[in-house]
Amino acid sequence: MMSTIEAPARPARYLELDSLRGLAALMVVLFHVLDLWQADAQPSSAIIRYSLGLEYPFGTDAVLLFFVLSGFVLSLPAINGKPQTYPTFLIRRVFRIYVPYLPALLVSVAGAFWLHGIITRSIWFHQFWSEPVNWRLVGQHVLFLSLSNTDQFDPPIWSLVYEMRISLIFPLLCGLVLPLKSKWFLVIAGGLTTIPIIFERLVYHIDGSGFDSPHYAGLFILGILLAREKSRLGEWFRCRRRIARILIGAAFFWLFLFAGQLFLGATARALDFQRSLAYISQWITALGAGGLMIICMNSSSCERVLHWPPIHFLGEISYSLYLWHFVVLLYCVHLLYGKIPLWEILCLVFVLSIIVSWFSYRWIELPSMNLGRKLSNPFQRPSGA
C-alpha cells in the first residue's frame, strides 16, 4: 500500500526532463540571488558587472521552459491513448500546483506581516515585503484572481497563476490541436500570441500584461507538438553525426539563453512595438527550450549528466525550490541584513532553499499529489472504455 510520502510512479524515460526542470529552477534561484547582490553591492569592476549581466535572462527563460515542459508532459496521456477525464485531470492539477502553493503563501504572508519594510540599498528589492499586509491582496492570492501585485509576498508565483489558468482549459486545447497537422500548431500558437497585442492596441493606455494568458497558452501548444512528434524528432537527431549533434545542441542552447535577449536588445528603440518584440523574443527562447528537451531525451551524454543523482534530486524538488526560494531569501535578508555580510546571507539562502524545498517536497508535495490521485480515481474512465 502506498504511503503518504511515496512518490507517484513516473516513466523512467523522462527522468531527464525532471532534471532539466530542476536545473531551470536552480537558474531562477541564482538569478534572484545574484540580482540582489549586484543591486546592493554595486560592484565597480566592469568584468564582474559584465559577468553578472550574463545571468539576466536566466529567470524568465527558465519560466518559459516550464511552460513548454508542462504542455509536453500534460499531453502525454492523450498522445499515448490514455486520456484522463476532465475531473481527473483537474483534481490532480489542483493538488499538484495549488495545494502546495498555499503553505508557501501562508509563510510568506506571515513574514510580510511581521517583517515588512525597506532595508537594503537595492531598489529592486524594495518591491518585496515593503508595506503592511493588504488583506484584500491576500484574498486575491488565495483565489488566484489577480496578477496586479505578486511582488508583495512571493514574486515567482506570477507564473503559477498562468499555469493554473491554462490548466483549466488544457484538455480542450489539447483535443483541439492534436488532430491537426504540425504547421497548424504553430499557426494557432502564433494567433494566441497576437491576442494581448491586439487588445493593448485597441484599448489605448491599457497595459496588456494582465492578458498574457493566450500567449503563454501558445507555449503550451508548442509543448504538445513536441510531445506528439518526439519520436520523429528524436530519430532525426540521433541519425546526425556526432559533430552535427554537438552543433545542434549548441545552437539550441544559444537560442534558449541568449538569442531572445539579443534580439530584444537590438530592437530596443522600437518603442511602439515593445510588447510584440517581447513576445517574439520569448518565442525564440521557447523554441530553444523545446530543442533542448528533444536533445536531452535523445543524447546519451545528456542522459548521463541528467541522471546523475544530485541533478536528479534538483528535478524532484524543482517545484518546491521554485516556490520557496524567494520566501527563504526574504526571511534571511530581513532578519540578517546588517548583522552579517550580504554574501554570507546569500550563501545561507542557497543552502536553506535546498533544505526547505526538500522538506516541502517530502511533506507537502508528495502527500498532496497522492491525495489528488486518490480523490480523482473515481472519475477515471473504466478499463477498456
* Number of structural domains found in the chain: 1
pLDDT exceeds cutoff 70 at 7: no
pLDDT exceeds cutoff 70 at 100: yes
pLDDT exceeds cutoff 70 at 193: yes
d(CA 152, CA 126): 10
Place of cell 497558452: 217
The more confident residue out of 58 and 184 is 184
In this structure, which amino acid lies at residue 79?
I
Find the range with the poorest average confidence among 73-87, 150-164, 254-268, 350-364: 254-268
pLDDT for 122: 83
In a domain, 242, yes or no: yes
Sign, CA dihedral 204-217-296-363, equals positive
Taking the C-alpha atoms of 76, 80, 81 and 87 in order, what is their torsion angle to the nearest 10 degrees? -20
The mean per-residue pLDDT over the stretch 155-173 comes to: 92
Domain that holds residue 178: 12-379
In a domain, 292, yes or no: yes
Q: Using CB atoms within 10 Å of the CB of residue 223, give its burial: 0 to 12 exposed, 13 to 18 middle, 19+ buried.
A: buried
d(CA 315, CA 246): 24
In a domain, 7, yes or no: no
In a domain, 1, yes or no: no
In a domain, 70, yes or no: yes
d(CA 53, CA 43): 12
pLDDT exceeds cutoff 60 at 49: no
Q: Which pTM value belongs to this model?
A: 0.90
In a domain, 385, yes or no: no
pLDDT for 22: 95
In a domain, 2, yes or no: no
Q: For residue range 271-292, what is the model confidence (pLDDT) as tens digits?
A: 666 778 888 899 999 999 999 9
In a domain, 285, yes or no: yes
Q: Cβ atoms within 10 A of the Cβ of 71, count?
A: 29
State the helix-helix crossing angle for 342-360 and 99-115, rounded to 10 degrees. 150
pLDDT exceeds cutoff 50 at 12: no
